[in-house]
Copies of this chain bind each other. A is one copy, B any other.
Amino acid sequence: MKTTIGFVGVGRMGANMARRLRDRGYAITAVYDALHPTALAVAAELGAHPCRELGEVTARADVIFTVVSDDAAQRAVFAASGDSLLTNASGRIFVNCATISPAIHTEIETAAAKAGAGSLEACMASSVPQARNGTLYLMCGGRLPLFNQLKPLLGELSNGGQTLRYIGPAGTAGQVKALVNMVMNINTAGLAEGLGLGAALGLHLPTLMDVFGQTGAASRVVTTDAEDMINQEHTCYFSAAHAAKDSGIALQLGRERGLHLPIAAATKAQYDRLVGLGLGNLDKSGIAELTFPGRSGSRK
Task: Say yes or no: A220-B220 contact (C-beta < 8 A), given A175-B201, A179-B194.
Answer: no
In the complex, which residues 125-159 of chain A have their Cβ closer than 8 Å to any Cβ of chain B? Answer: 125, 137, 139
Query: B175 to A203, Cβ gap below 8 A?
Result: yes
**Chain B residues whose C-beta falls within 8 Å of the C-beta of A260 in the assembled complex:** 290-291, 298-300
Chain B residues near A291 (CB, 8 Å)? 259-261
Closest to A269 in B: B262
Question: Copy number in this complex?
Answer: 2
CB A244 to nearest CB in B, in angstroms, measures 14
Interface size of A by CB at 8 A reads 67
Chain B residues near A125 (CB, 8 Å)? 211, 215-216
CB A167 to nearest CB in B, in angstroms, measures 6
Quick check: B266 and A217 within 8 Å, CB to CB? no
A204 at the interface (CB under 8 A from B): yes
For window 204-258 of A, CB contacts with B under 8 Å fall at: 204, 207-208, 210-212, 214-221, 224, 238, 250, 253-254, 257-258
Cβ of A58 within 8 Å of any chain B Cβ, yes or no, is no
| A74, CB-defined interface residue at 8 Å | no
Query: Given A179-B212, A184-B215, A258-B300, 4 other A-B contacts at CB below 8 A?
Result: A186-B193, A193-B263, A260-B299, A263-B270
A residues whose Cβ falls under 8 Å from a Cβ of B: 125, 137, 139, 163, 165, 167-168, 172, 175-176, 179-184, 186-187, 189-191, 193-194, 196-198, 200-201, 203-204, 207-208, 210-212, 214-221, 224, 238, 250, 253-254, 257-267, 269-270, 290-291, 293, 298-300
